[in-house]
């Protein structure tokens, strides 16, 4: 279980790095709101990594940090960018589900309990990104509609939801 949790720390750090890359890309497209949204997403992923990090220590385990893979830097249109976000979140959901399966197989009830927060978080992540994609498709990614969506996304602030978990 410890090895799988350490691997998840790496995946969460990769996710943070990926969203920073997406933030930089959005900024290059002249979409400061999207860039801000992605930067907040990067912070959120970092808090997820820290939650796993802290949990391993709480269980008297050993954290083993590995190198983080390089991330993409080009993502196409703003709709394609958010479709990449959704695809990545679905991948993370599969990783979390795999961790839950491992915890169940090992009868590790404490880890299973901790992971349920992440299961719920992933449902929320996928729904949020799906809604953004739907909104972008309504305005076809251009004009005043895109401006308004960008403004709305820029209003996102970082809230460390792990503190309440």
| pLDDT single digits (tens) 45-80 | 999 999 999 999 999 999 999 999 999 999 999 999
Q: How far apart are CA 80 and CA 52, in angstroms?
A: 30
Instruction: Look at the pTM and tell me if it is higher than 0.75.
Output: yes
Query: What's residue 159's pLDDT?
Result: 67
Give me the mean pLDDT over the 133-162 stretch: 74
Complete DSSP assignment for 48-97: HHHHHHHHHHHTT------PPPP------SHHHHHHHHHHHHHHHHHHHH
Among 135, 159, 149, 158, residue whose Cα is nearest residue 34: 149
Sign of the torsion angle spanned by Cα atoms 39, 20, 55, 109: positive
Asked if pLDDT for residue 154 goes beyond 90, the answer is no
Query: What's residue 140's pLDDT?
Result: 75
Among 72, 84, 71, residue whose Cα is nearest residue 136: 84
Whole-number average pLDDT of the chain: 92
The percentage of the chain sitting over the pLDDT mark of 90, rounded to a whole number, equals 79
Asked if pLDDT for residue 89 goes beyond 80, the answer is yes
Query: What's residue 156's pLDDT?
Result: 61
| Domain 2-159 -> CATH class | mainly alpha
**Domain-by-domain residue ranges, the chain?**
2-159
Query: What's residue 29's pLDDT?
Result: 94
Give the distance from CA 119 to its chain's centroid.
12
Asked if pLDDT for residue 38 goes beyond 80, the answer is yes
């Amino acid at each position: 279980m410890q090895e799988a949790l350490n691997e998840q720390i790496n995946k969460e750090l990769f996710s943070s790095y990926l969203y920073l890359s997406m933030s930089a890309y959005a900024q290059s497209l002249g979409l400061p709101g999207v860039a801000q949204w992605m930067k907040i997403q990067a912070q959120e992923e970092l808090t997820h990594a820290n939650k796993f990090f802290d949990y391993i220590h709480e269980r008297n385990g050993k954290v083993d940090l590995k190198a983080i893979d390089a991330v993409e830097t080009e993502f196409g249109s703003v709709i394609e960018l958010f479709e990449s976000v959704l695809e990545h979140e679905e991948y993370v959901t599969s990783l979390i589900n795999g961790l839950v399966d491992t915890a169940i197989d090992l009868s590790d009830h404490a880890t299973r309990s901790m992971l349920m927060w992440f299961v719920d978080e992933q449902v929320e992540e996928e729904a949020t990104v799906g809604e953004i994609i739907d909104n972008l498709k309504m305005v076809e990614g251009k004009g005043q509609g895109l401006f308004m969506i960008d403004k709305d996304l820029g209003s996102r602030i970082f809230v460390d939801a792990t503190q309440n978990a």
